[in-house]
Amino acid sequence: MRLFRYREDRLPIAVISLVFALDVLLYATVDSVFVLAAWTLLGILPKAHICAWNHHHQHVPVFQVPALNRLLEVMYGLQTGITSHAWVLHHSLGHHKNYLDQTEDESRWQRRDGRIMGELEYTLEVGLTAYPRAWAVGRQFPNHRRIFLWMGLLTLAVVAALVAYRPLPALFVFVVPMVISLFLTAWATYSHHSGKDTTSHFVACNNILHRGYNVLTGNLGYHTAHHYRPGVHWSRLPALHAQIAAQIPGDCYLTPGLPWRFGQASVPGPSVTERLTELLAPSAEADLGGAAE
């Protein structure tokens, strides 16, 4: 029996496992705060890209054997801060179902008043609500929520044991990168959809066709194709994109900059500072003593 569902997953999983092996080696052997802090910073780059592969796995599981998938998800959780079935619930069964409705989307980029969030505001909201929203989606999918709960507790127990045994290395190698990676994942999704028309799959996503970007993220740049057929394996997305490219408008493409810098969304929203200023400033009605009534 084949272990991998798709042979294309073998190389990425080998590379990702090597990164994890380096994490374990540093955790077990290094006590220098300088070296550990340097790895925290340097390791964010590969782990930011591993977040994309974790996403792919929770759409289309890598292995034929469920136990191997659960084991892989523990490793992914320790690298990315996103545990088993968190993506399944929040993203696959939540965001993909609701992203054309900004009142329901688990990764919504629109405020209740219809205006677009700024990048930082969106990142904080989606990052801080990721697990509660995944749990809420799980009400409709109790089997998935059960796995999410128990695997989350298992991952938390592993982290607690690592911290108890070697606190400082655990903090720099696992705990801090997990938190950073979770919020980087939220930030990276901002320009996937923010400011786009939500009338159909073909106009609601931004795409990145840069080869290097797609090699590192498993073709995540073919985002319209991914939403059009979310069950299609990442390796098949370029072919699917070619089939539907004529239906994708020209303003649904971005050029990537530095790693994980997807470019600006089509219609940028106000910054968090601007939003806080609005919330804290007295309203016109208050200034006029309620004259607007």
Q: How many CB atoms lie within 10 A of CB 67?
A: 8
Comparing CA positions, the residue from 160, 24, 4 lying closest to residue 79 is 24
pLDDT, one tens digit per residue, over 93-126 is: 999 999 999 999 999 999 989 899 999 999 999 9
Write out the two tokens for 80. Answer: 């990315």
Q: What is the mean pLDDT of the chain?
A: 88
CA distance 3 to 193: 35
Write out the two tokens for 184. Answer: 């980087």
pLDDT at 271 over 80: no
Write out the two tokens for 24. Answer: 């374990």
Write out the two tokens for 198. Answer: 């939500």
3-state secondary structure of 64: coil
Distance of CA 179 to the CA centre of its chain: 12
pLDDT, one tens digit per residue, over 220-251 is: 999 999 999 999 999 999 999 999 999 999 99
The answer for residues whose C-beta is within 8 angstroms of residue 272's C-beta and 6 or more apart is 118, 120, 121, 124
- What angle do the packed helices 119-137 and 176-188 form, to 10 degrees? 100
CA distance 234 to 226: 8
In this prediction, residues 212-216 reach a mean pLDDT of: 92
pLDDT at 290: 31
